[in-house]
């Protein structure tokens, strides 16, 4: 009996001290929501314990610069007023704020720390448009895995990538962040990016939640002006624009982001058709939707909402679970609930989606980041992969009389141009955390190959927009002293990206004039363009002996370009977007529908050939521009190599298939040149007649294959009837009829065959 009372006294003391500890340190004896139950059960259990204020807190994301100061932010987190923080820097700060959330808030719900990690964290890869030119999902996936490893080492477990907006307009600055114009290529890369970001195990500390953005239609902004209106027919929306988003969803993307734009009059952040009907009902997406920065309040500027209260109502009703940076949810949801304009279930579902992401990421079990994790940043293997990606992304556009590659034994080269030694510019747009000191520039890399004494360097122009010609004479003098001229030009990083739209997309500044002067010297002129968009570089292609399009190639752009210039490897990239002759040719995309009067080489009249005294009928009455003609500067899928490839022996396993069947299409590809190299082999189809007019060509498959000199490979594609499906304005259909098929090196070349669908 004595023992019993002693135990009871011990229990009383224990309870007493626990209560004291609970008072002194809120949450110390909190019931932990960490167990082995299924995620849905854990979410439901936690949701049942939350107050309305705590739920609204989970639906709110804050940038620390808008929190009123560090102490105000800590208090707000302690009070459960935020579910996510973006742009918080450093392990110590992240762990400190996470500790407050986990150990001092009432329910201990961890924060989701977000950051824009678009094409690298510290190891910067080529801009996504450049990576798309590699046509290599495997190296893209690895690039995004590296990005996730680096950023997660700083506590970032959510990135606002991939950006998978299709666009037909290179004036749009954000073309740099996407994968180009084609829905098939973009879809394969969207899958790779999501898988790279999130990894094989979501609870791994290096797994980062992906966010497919900008949902949806943002890339179709009128005239390429950022944030602008978009009008997209439902067939184009479903057959083109939505395709990569569906691929991201199918790849398991945990989150989606609603865009800034209005779509056919309804802003994306208040669009029930795209968010509720398509994303949730048709696709079955179970993850979380976050608004873009301020896009909820911007519905007022759009003229879609009268005030913040209405904006909060429309966004929540449409399906936006978390509001980024603005405060309409925090300020209005309780009142909307009280007035009966929204119900509790609408709020609970949004919070459920948010908590599910946090549980799936293992944040309840492992909310903190370990300091040792940051030792991976700028790992030599990461840098070597960045070099590989930059190398495979570069596109050889011209190589007259084999001007490239150069011999490493060359006596001297003139390195000229504003981007030859511009470490920040080569990293490109949306590069918050990359450091210029880590960039290896073309100038540095070329000196490492040749030795500094063989390199004559001058910028000629101090930056890409420079119009001061004071250094032209010195540049020409150095070029005359050299065996070969290497010109590195293009755009500064600030000329592309969000808000950086251009009306004209030619080389800025006096670059064309400098290239013209250099071309008069009778020396081999090699031009490397480093830019964030497809530029109208017709003058460059005319004047230069060889042209490489290197995009903004990231941290290791210099060594990658040197590898190609001096023939360590052959260029192998192919264009993921059509290059136009000038802004007046926009939009120009390869899978356009035909016109009733299509132009051809025989049917168009160049403007300069029109007689001054001219009968009206001489112009041909076909679809073309008098000044641009009917072809682009360079077509989608185009890219040269240091070797040559011969395509032969197109074969179809059958001449017809059923509406549920398939056929195999194959061809042989021979490396007929003098160097081992990769070739990107492309499969296109055309549906000749449809219930709505169909594109002249559509990419349906591609393979990047290494082919040794003199060797032949057999390449086979399986073409399923499902690959021929399209939305005809009413429903998705696979229609019977005749089809063309091509296997070739680009969208304008290839072996041709025919088949029918029964």
Quote the CA–CA distance of 441 and 449 in Å, as a whole number: 13
Phi, psi of 73 (to 5 degrees): -65, -45
CA dihedral 558, 563, 566, 567 (to 10 degrees): -160
Number of other CB atoms surrounding residue 146 within 10 Å: 26
CB 743 within 8 A of CB 717: yes
Tell me how far apart the alpha carbons of residues 751 and 176 are, in angstroms, rounded to a whole number: 32
525 forms beta bridges with: 485
Tell me how far apart the alpha carbons of residues 618 and 606 are, in angstroms, rounded to a whole number: 11
Give the integer Cα–Cα distance in Å for 319 and 342.
12
Instruction: Let me know the angle formed at the C-alpha of 689 by 685 and 690, rounded to the nearest 5 degrees.
Output: 100
C-alpha–C-alpha distance, residues 83 and 511, integer Å:
49
Q: Give the DSSP H/E element, type plus range, for residue 18.
A: helix 2-24
Distance, in Å, from the CA atom of 279 to the CA atom of 249, rounded to the nearest integer, reads 9
CA distance 278 to 283: 6
Distance between CA atoms of residues 194 and 24, nearest Å: 44
Where would I find the beta strands (DSSP E) of 491-631?
525-530, 546-549
656-657 and 662-671 as β-strands: parallel, antiparallel, unpaired?
unpaired
The tokens for 488 are 């590195």
Catalytic residue among 116, 165, 182, 292: 292
Is residue 292 part of the annotated active site? The answer reads: yes
Three-point CA angle 603, 606, 608, nearest 5°: 150
DSSP calls for 522-557 = SS-EEEEEE-SS----HHHHHH-SEEEE--S--TTH
Neighbours of 677 (CB within 10 A): 21
166, containing H or E segment: none
Q: CA angle, 131 as apex, 130 and 134 as ends, to 5°?
A: 100
Taking alpha carbons only, the member of 187, 182, 205 closest to residue 140 is 187
Task: Give the residue from 219, 237, 221, 240 showing the smallest Cα distance to 229.
Answer: 221
| Euclidean distance between CA atoms 575 and 745, whole angstroms | 11
**Residue pair 724/757 in contact by the 8 Å Cβ criterion:** yes
Measured CA to CA, the distance from residue 635 to residue 658 in angstroms comes to 33
Residues pairing with 415 in the sheet? 457, 486
- Catalytic residues, by residue number, are 292
């Amino acid at each position: 009996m004595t023992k019993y009372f002693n135990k009871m006294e011990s229990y009383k003391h224990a309870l007493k001290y626990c209560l004291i500890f609970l008072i002194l340190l809120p949450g110390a004896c909190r019931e932990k929501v960490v167990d082995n139950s299924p995620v849905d059960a854990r979410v439901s259990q936690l949701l049942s314990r939350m107050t309305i204020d705590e739920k609204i807190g989970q639906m709110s994301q804050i940038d620390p610069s808008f929190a009123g100061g560090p102490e105000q932010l800590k208090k707000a987190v302690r009070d459960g007023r935020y579910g996510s923080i973006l742009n918080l820097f450093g392990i110590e700060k992240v762990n400190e704020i996470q500790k407050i959330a986990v150990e001092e808030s009432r329910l201990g719900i961890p924060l989701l720390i977000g950051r824009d990690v678009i094409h690298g964290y510290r190891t910067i890869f080529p801009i996504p448009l450049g990576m798309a030119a590699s046509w290599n999902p495997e190296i893209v996936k690895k690039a995004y895995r590296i990005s996730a490893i680096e950023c997660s080492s700083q506590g970032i477990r959510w990135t606002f990538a991939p950006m998978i907006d299709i666009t037909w307009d290179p004036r749009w600055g954000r073309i740099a962040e996407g994968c180009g114009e084609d829905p098939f290529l973009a879809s394969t890369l969207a899958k790779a990016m999501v898988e790279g970001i999130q990894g094989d195990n979501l609870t791994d500390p290096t797994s980062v939640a992906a966010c497919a953005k900008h949902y949806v239609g943002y890339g179709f902004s009128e005239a390429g002006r950022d944030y602008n209106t978009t009008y997209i027919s439902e067939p184009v929306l479903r057959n083109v624009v939505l395709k990569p988003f569906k691929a991201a969803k199918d790849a398991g993307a945990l989150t989606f982001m609603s865009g800034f734009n209005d779509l056919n009059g309804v802003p994306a952040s208040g669009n029930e058709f795209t968010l509720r009907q398509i994303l949730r009902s048709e696709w079955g997406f179970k993850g979380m939707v976050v608004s873009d920065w301020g896009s909820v309040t911007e519905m007022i500027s759009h003229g879609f909402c009268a005030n913040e209260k209405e904006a909060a109502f429309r966004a929540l009703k449409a399906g936006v679970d978390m509001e980024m940076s603005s405060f309409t949810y925090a300020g209005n949801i309780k009142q909307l609930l009280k007035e009966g304009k929204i119900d509790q279930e609408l709020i609970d579902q949004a919070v459920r989606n948010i908590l599910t992401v946090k549980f799936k990421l293992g944040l309840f079990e492992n909310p903190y980041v370990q300091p040792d994790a940051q030792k991976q940043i700028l790992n030599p293997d990461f840098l070597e992969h960045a070099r590989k990606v930059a190398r495979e992304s570069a596109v050889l556009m011209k190589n007259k009389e084999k001007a490239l590659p150069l011999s490493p034994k060359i006596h001297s080269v003139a390195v000229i141009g504003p981007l030859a030694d511009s470490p920040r510019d080569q990293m490109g747009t949306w590069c918050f955390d990359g450091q210029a000191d880590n960039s290896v520039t073309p100038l540095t890399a070329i000196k490492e190959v040749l030795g500094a004494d063989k390199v004559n360097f001058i910028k000629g122009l101090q930056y890409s927009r420079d119009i001061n010609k004071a250094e032209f004479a010195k540049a020409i003098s150095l070029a005359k002293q050299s065996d070969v001229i290497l010109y590195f030009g293009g755009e500064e990083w600030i000329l592309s990206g969000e808000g950086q739209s251009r009306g004209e997309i030619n080389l800025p500044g006096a670059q064309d004039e400098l290239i013209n002067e250099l071309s008069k010297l009778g020396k081999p002129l090699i031009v490397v363009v480093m830019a964030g968009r497809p530029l109208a570089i017709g003058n460059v292609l005319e004047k230069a002996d060889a042209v490489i399009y290197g995009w903004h190639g990231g941290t290791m752009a210099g060594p990658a370009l040197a590898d190609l210039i001096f023939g360590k490897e052959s260029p192998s990239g192919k264009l993921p977007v059509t290059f136009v002759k000038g802004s007046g040719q926009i939009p120009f995309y390869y899978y356009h529908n035909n016109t009733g009067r299509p132009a051809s080489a025989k049917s168009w009249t160049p403007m300069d050939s029109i007689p001054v005294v001219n009968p009206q009928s001489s112009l041909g009455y076909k679809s073309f521009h008098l000044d641009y003609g009917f072809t682009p500067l360079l077509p989608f899928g185009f890219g040269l190599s240091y070797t040559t490839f011969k395509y032969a022996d197109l074969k179809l396993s059958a001449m017809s298939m059923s509406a549920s069947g398939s056929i195999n299409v194959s061809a042989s590809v021979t490396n007929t040149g003098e160097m081992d190299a990769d070739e990107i082999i492309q499969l296109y189809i055309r549906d000749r007649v449809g219930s709505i007019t169909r594109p002249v060509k559509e990419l349906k498959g591609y393979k990047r294959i290494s082919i040794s000199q003199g060797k032949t490979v057999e390449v086979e594609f399986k073409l399923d009837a499902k690959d021929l499906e399209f939305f005809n304005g009413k429903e998705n259909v696979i229609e019977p009829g005749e089809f063309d098929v091509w296997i070739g090196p680009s969208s304008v070349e290839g072996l041709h065959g025919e088949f029918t669908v029964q």
